[in-house]
Structure 1
Amino acid sequence: MATQAKRRRVAGPVGGGDADPDPVAGFLSWCGQVGLELSPKVAVSRQGTVAGYGMVARESVQPGELLFAVPRAALLSQHTCSIGGLLERERGALQSQSGWVPLLLALLHELQAPASPWSPYFALWPELGRLEHPMFWPEEERRRLLQGTGVPEAVEKDLANIRSEYYSIVLPFMEAHPDLFSPRVRSLELYRQLVALVMAYSICFFVCGGVDLNLHTISENCLRMVATQPIPKGHEIFNTYGQMANWQLIHMYGFVEPYPDNTDDTADIQMVTVREAALQGTKAEAERLLLYERWDFLCKLEMVGEEGAFVIGREEVLTEEELTSTLKVLCMPAEEFREFKEKDGWGDNKREEDSLTITNIPNLKASWKQLLRDSVLLTLQTYATDLKSEQDLLSNKEVYTKLSWREQQALQVRYGQKMILHQLLELTS
């Protein structure tokens, strides 16, 4: 990932009302009250940060130095909130696919509790109504800007799951305890906002994000943040999101890294797209039936699935075993496939020339390269625009700066993916 986060974040009061004139002072006072230890070498500030509130190094910090330590009792969770006992007793009824229902109920309760111990922490939250995750974009805009990237499909699944979880578990629980949840927090929209906030900020106590500069470790009594890299004086301190592609960053956090900063960026080739590309080469019905037989066999080996994807990075194929097996089975002669199937795939030794490292792709069998190339071409057809159009936008700074923030973020996602796919085209030509 890049060494500088690029996310736009907006801080403000939660749920409306007047903002604290000095929320940082209130937050720091609260830190002292709950025993949160903050290194004198760092400061919580809006000055010198990417956006919103962040942590800035007052002095240079060395790897291993403590940045802050939070007592377990000060961590906001379903175990420490004021209704923790109730949530524990009802744990069985609150089980869900996400596993987040108890935590989200804790947040919903504390947000509307006038005397919540975490009110000074909430004062540093971004405005919930201005979160930039694609789930809050209008559907038409999301599909228009992110078509082909995989984000619209991921968001639709999220929205369906959130809606189902809210109406089947969360709302009935709140209605069963009207003394604990005021009507103003019984809202699907607020619940969606909190889901997004938990996705983006659940491991942070400060509005931070981006690169691998610090590490959180949890002991029995507290959470400790220590520096893992030297941090120069005046630099903002970030918490890592891990190795994530741009489509994952915008989906989960609402921002991306501009090309070519995100070295962990990837492009997906849907597994069924490879099947579709292979079907293009069949002429007779018998060939089609044999290809489906091969596909079913790959499904049995758990190498492919109807909703799976082959993941391609800039320098490696992250799903090398799956893609290698798929190309091999779909391209091998019919008699060889029969023998391979009888052995249930066993006894097949991987040859060095079949390695799907990026550098070895030009050395693959011609049939493999052709199928991979056809699959890439089909994948590129799923985007609404071509690579040249993206390049023209990015190279013209005057035009690029006139794009909306969402248009810029989506452009970076599309462009990064297409660059990887076009690299594959060159390697398979």
Structure 2
Amino acid sequence: MDQLISWFTSQGGAVDIEHFGLAEFPGQGWGAIALKDIPEGHVLFAIPRTLTLSTRSCALLDLFGNNSWTSFQLHEGWAGLILCMMWEESMVEKSKWFQYFASLPSHFDTPMFWNDEELAELRGTSVVGKIGRSEAENDYYNKVVPAVKSRPDLFFPEHLDRWYTLERYHIMGSRILSRSFQVEKWDPAANDEEDDGVLQPEMDVDGDDPTSAEPNEKDNDDVAEGHGGDSDDGDDGDDPGDVAMVPMADILNARFGCNNARLFHEQLELRMVTTESILAGNQIWNTYGELPNSELLRRYGHVDVFDLPGGGQGNPEDVVEVPANVFVSPIIDISPKGMSVETLQERIDWWLEESGDDTFVIEAQKGLEISPPLISFARLLLLSPKDWERAREKPKLPKPKLSEEDGPAVLDVISQGLQRMLDEFPSPIETDWELLSKPDLPLRKRNAIIVRAGEKRILLEVLNEVGQLQKSRTTESKKRKQPGQTGSRAKKSKR
């Protein structure tokens, strides 16, 4: 790692080697360490924008030609950046980033590299549907391979089997997923305004001046599936050219609630600045945003485990993502008229047009309550034909809260749907805790069990909450039917 610092400074980077150092941490790999006590607001290092690696800073795009680049769809998603990185690495010592590439990992414990047996341990979790291996490989074969073969003057035929293989493509994509920052073009006008403090996709980069204001804290949202980035880049305004590898900054590790440094961007450079004082010998942490274990595992190959306020262990940021389709069978079973799949699909399509949500997120941090959008969705599916037509004409979604008129059906649908999700997991939670007590458990299996146990814990607690509501409503319903309580029986006893 001394070579990395030497290379970094030789390329115009600045490092405070009196306070900032690199060290290997057990179970975490390389990270940053405070060599002396560091005060808040201290600049640890500065990176010239020209030293960041993106499709803007790499010469390949100009050599290839913008029209050709676009014709191969390399301007969409991450395929273009991956190709740039493969090309730069193929040039070895001739590349400006040669020493930087030497410092990057080539082995990953992210699910992208797991075999089928290992992936089976994640069955039932939200991770499986987000790995994106097939999407990544589709980009490789349909974008990268044709582009490479079209320009043997840039991608030498003798290099193809070494530097441009599918394996190298996955490695480069995983480096981006786990270590990239989003570094937007400098816009003086935008930086005069209040900055939201977050640049995505993977680590936070703040646009405020740390000497004049505190960085705004806000979680970043991942927009990438597999290695390809978001397929809707053009629709939401995200520019794949903003995604960049940032030497030195990407070596900082992250852990829930531990971040003590942030990356701020200026016109010509990026600066890593402490956000609180750090004692000598302590690790210097960046932030990835407060992420659930499912996302930590997918992006970075690790999980966070803490003692939870309500007892047990896990990640307080864990969530469960409930797909809308798990409620279709319960609706059909519960509907008194045997609602057809076609009718349900019509309502689901309308829901997607009006709300855009095909997944309902249950967050541990929000008290494990029933997701309000989920209540609205269940009520929509249970509407009578007359009420359905009225809702569609307005158009207006059902209120996202339970009402006395709902009866038990809404809770029954939610309960059965969540139970179906719980049944998808390969083992009960008690078995998970028993497995985690074994000291010789392989790392990937241990991480998978921690992820699925965290999601099961949330599902079980929400199901318990639904069960309590069902029991309460049943009790209230019985009371209303007792003599002297309501309606004609009350009048009869009065006479």
The TM-score bracket by the shorter chain reads 0.7 to 0.9
Q: Which residue of 2 aligns with 1:323?
A: 374
Counterpart of 1:52 in structure 2 is 29
The 3-state SS of whatever aligns with 2:103 is coil
The whole-number CA distance in structure 2 between the counterparts of 1:187 and 1:163 is 11
Aligned to 2:463: 425
| 2:419 is equivalent to residue 377 of structure 1 | yes
Hey, what does 1:76 align to over in structure 2? 53
In 1, distance between residues paired with 2:365 and 2:168?
41
The one of 250, 259, 282 aligned to 2:297 = 250
Give the structure 1 partner of residue 144 of structure 2: 170
TM-score normalised by length of structure 1: 0.81
Gaps of 5+ in 2: 182-245, 307-312, 468-495
Instruction: After superposition, give the CA deviation of every residue in 1:115-136 in whole Å (9 maximum; x if it has no partner).
Output: 222122122212x1x2111111
SS at match of 2:365: coil
Contact 2:335 2:382 in 1 (8 A): no
Offset, 1:218 = 2.2
Name the aligned partner's letter for residue 425 of structure 2.
Answer: Y
State the secondary structure of the residue aligned to 1:280.
helix
Q: CA deviation at 1:266?
A: 0.6
Q: Deviations over 1:262-301 (max 9, x none)?
A: 2211112211002222222135445766545543432342
Match of 1:361? Answer: none
Q: 1:263 to 1:80 in 2, by over 3 A?
A: same
Give yes or no for contact 2:380–2:388 (8 Å, CA) kept in 1: yes
1:8 alignment counterpart: none
For 1:207, the aligned partner's letter is I
How many residue pairs match? The answer is: 385
Deviations 1:313-354 (A, max 9, x none): 1133799453232022124455433433332217x6x48766
Cα distance, 1:412–1:185 mapped onto 2, change above 3 Å: same
Letter in 2 for 1:242: G
Q: Structure 1: how far apart are the matches of 2:145 and 2:342?
A: 49
Which residue is equivalent to 2:222? none
The amino acid across from 1:312 in the alignment is I
Larger radius of gyration: 2
Structure 1 residue runs without a partner (length 5+): 1-23, 355-363
User: Aligned pair in 2 of structure 1 residues 290, 52: CA closer, same or farther (>3 Å)?
Assistant: closer
| TM-score of the pair, normalised by structure 2 | 0.71
Contact 1:331 1:368 in 2 (8 A): yes
How much identity, in percent, do the aligned residues show?
A: 25
Match of 1:408 among 420, 434, 446: 446
In the other structure, the counterpart of 1:367 is: 409
Q: Distance in 2 between matches of 1:180 and 1:413?
A: 43
| CA–CA separation in structure 1 for the residues paired with 2:61 and 2:379 | 54
CA–CA distance in structure 2, aligned partners of residues 111 and 81 of structure 1: 12
Q: d(CA) in 2 for partners of 1:134 and 1:236?
A: 27
Which of 80, 88, 96 is residue 117 of structure 1 equivalent to?
96
1:235 and 2:235 aligned: no
Q: d(CA) in 2 for partners of 1:53 and 1:273? A: 42
Shift of 1:223: 1.4
Once the two structures are TM-superposed, the CA of residue 199 in structure 1 deviates from its matched residue by: 0.4
Q: Deviation at 1:71?
A: 0.6
Deviation at 1:378, TM superposition (A): 0.7
Which structure has more relative contact order (CA 8 Å, sep 6+)? It is 1
Using the TM superposition, name which of 130-139 and 212-221 deviates more.
Answer: 212-221
Structure-to-structure mapping, 1:25-424, within 5 angstroms: 25-48=2-25, 50-87=27-64, 89=66, 90-96=68-74, 99-113=77-91, 114-126=93-105, 128=106, 130-142=107-119, 144-155=120-131, 158-181=132-155, 182-183=159-160, 184-203=162-181, 204-205=246-247, 206-211=250-255, 212-258=259-305, 260-285=313-338, 291-304=344-357, 308-316=358-366, 320=371, 322-345=373-396, 350=399, 366-394=408-436, 397=437, 399=438, 401-424=439-462
Alignment of 1:8-19 (within 5 A): none
Q: Is this contact kept in 1: 2:58–2:84, CA < 8 A?
A: yes
Given that 1:266 and 1:313 are in contact with CA atoms closer than 8 Å, whether structure 2 keeps it comes out as: yes
Match of 2:235 in 1: none
Q: Structure 2 CA distance, aligned partners of 1:351 and 1:414?
A: 28
For 2:268 and 2:321, how far apart are their aligned partners in 1? 42
CA contact (8 A) 1:310 1:323 kept: yes
Q: Cα deviations across residues 215-239 of structure 1 (Å, max 9, x unaligned)?
A: 2222221111222233332111222
C-alpha spacing 1:286/1:208, structure 2 compared with 1 (3 Å): closer
Aligned residue for 2:121, secondary structure, equals helix
CA distance in 2, matches of 1:243, 1:172: 39
